[in-house]
Structure 1
């Protein structure tokens, strides 16, 4: 059995056990265990998987650990400080959040790899993904912790639902976007070139579209199925009731959008990895 699969299965069993014991005993002291296992399981698994792929000897376990922890923490702290300046939700806010979070993750990647002598696109992909997954793990822990608190007290079910959803989506989120930016940055040998700037803007746009997909799906649903009285309520600032059919349409549009964004990012990453592989083959001839 491959190492990454063992890590995932062992972690998954321990997480299930933590959830079960917490639910059975109602012991709030176990909540941090549930939060940490659930938030870090998928990101750590993907980092272990990436480590087992093609990489240079410079990418050591120690460097991956530093990239995951230091890069992740620096990214979360930097993003939180800058995003605190954003007040009103809007399209511009989503764009700025994408630019901020992708910028601080890229900056964290540059910081933790500042002493690397030689850089390759493949190493940039692995280390970029590691920084991104570190960011995702710490961010997910925050979301899971917030989901725990409800008006009726602590809700273990909401915590678990949040962790499951973010765990499913995390492979095509922060880790993927920073892997793309890291691959392009390292292909440019760490220099800020036009391709690096375009990659940064591109992943920031993917990030902004991902975050705003709920609002986009609602808008498209209303354009396609909205009734006059619903538009009138929106015009005066009230939220209208929606039909079951509109909920289904919204769900389909939302997931279709997320899947499309993920496919675009995966194809982009595959292109970068393919170029890196062909470059190595040419040099080896």
Structure 2
């Protein structure tokens, strides 16, 4: 059995057992274990999968550990500081979050790999994904911790729901976006070229669209199914009630949007990976910009 699969199955069994025992005994001392296991299981699994799939003598276990832990922590710290200083509620908020978080992850990747003597695009894909998954793991732990607290007290059910949802979405989030940027960065020899800038802007756009998809789905739902009385309430600053049909339309649009964004990101990752493979075979093939949808 592959190591990544063994780690995932073992971790899943331990997480389920911890949730069950915590629910049965109401022992709050087990909550940190639930948070850590649930937040780190999928990111660690995908890092192991990427390492086994693309073995490289230059990408050591020690380097991957630094990329995951140091890169991930530097990323969340940098994002937290910059977002608290620069972002205020506005229509540009999602775009700024995407630009900031992708910038700090790319900077963290450059920092933890600064001593690498040889860089290949394939290594950039793996190490970029590792930094991205480290960022996702620490960020998910924070979301899970916050989900625990409700107006009615501690809610283990809400914590578990948050971890499950974020774990399902993890493979097409931070790890994917930073893998793309890392592959392009390493293909450029670690230099911040025009291609790296375009890749950074592209993944930042995907990130912003992902974060804002709920708002976009709400707007489209109102345009397609809005009632006159709902628009009247919105004009005076009140939030109108919604119909059951609008809830269904919103859900479909929201998830369809996430699927489309994920498909674009995965197609771009495949294009970068193939270019990297071609560059390794031919010597130095340039990597492409994101595929047009």
Q: Which deviates the most, 88-97 or 228-237?
A: 88-97
- State the partner residue of 1:213: 213
The match for 1:187 is 187
Contact 1:86–1:93 under 8 Å retained in 2: no
Give the aligned partner of residue 46 of structure 1.
46
Distance 1:144 1:86 in 2: 25
Partner of 1:267: 267
Counterpart of 1:34 in structure 2 is: 34
For 1:85-124, list aligned pairs within 5 A.
85-86=85-86, 88-124=88-124
Matching residue of 1:9: 9
**1:220-270, Cα deviation, whole Å (9 max, x unpaired):** 000000000000001100000001100000000000000000000000010
* Pairing 1:278–2:282 present: no
- For residues 171 and 60 of structure 1, what CA distance do their matches in structure 2 show? 22
Gaps of 5+ in 2: 285-293
Query: How far apart, in 2, do the equivalents of 1:223 and 1:88 lie?
Result: 27
1:169 aligns with 2:174: no
SS of aligned partner of 1:231: helix
Measure how far apart 1:283 and its partner are. Answer: 3.9
- The alpha carbon displacement at 1:129 in A equals 0.1
Q: Deviations over 1:137-191 (max 9, x none)?
A: 0000000000000011000000000000000000000000000000000000011
The whole-number CA distance in structure 2 between the counterparts of 1:216 and 1:280 is 41
Which string of whole-angstrom CA distances, capped at 9 and with x for unpartnered residues, describes residues 3-32 of structure 1?
Answer: 110000000000000000000000000000
Which whole-Å CA distance do the structure 1 matches of 2:168 and 2:86 have between them? 28
The structural deviation recorded for 1:85 is 2.2
Match of 2:291 in 1: none
Kindly indicate whether the alpha-carbon contact (under 8 Å) linking 1:106 and 1:178 is maintained by their aligned counterparts in 2. yes
- Partner secondary structure for residue 58 of structure 1: coil
The RMSD of aligned alpha carbons is 1.0
1:217 touches 1:254 (CA, 8 Å); kept in 2? Answer: yes
Q: In 2, Cα distance between the equivalents of 1:85 and 1:212?
A: 20
Corresponding residue for 1:237?
237
* TM-score, with structure 1 as normaliser: 0.98
Pairwise CA distance, 1:89:
2.6
Q: TM-score, normalised by structure 2?
A: 0.95
Task: Say if 1:55 and 1:122, in contact at 8 Å, map to a contact too.
Answer: no
Total equivalences in the alignment? 284
2:221 aligns to what SS in structure 1?
A: helix
Alpha-carbon distance in 2 for matches of 1:130, 1:66: 9
Unpaired runs of at least 5, structure 1: none
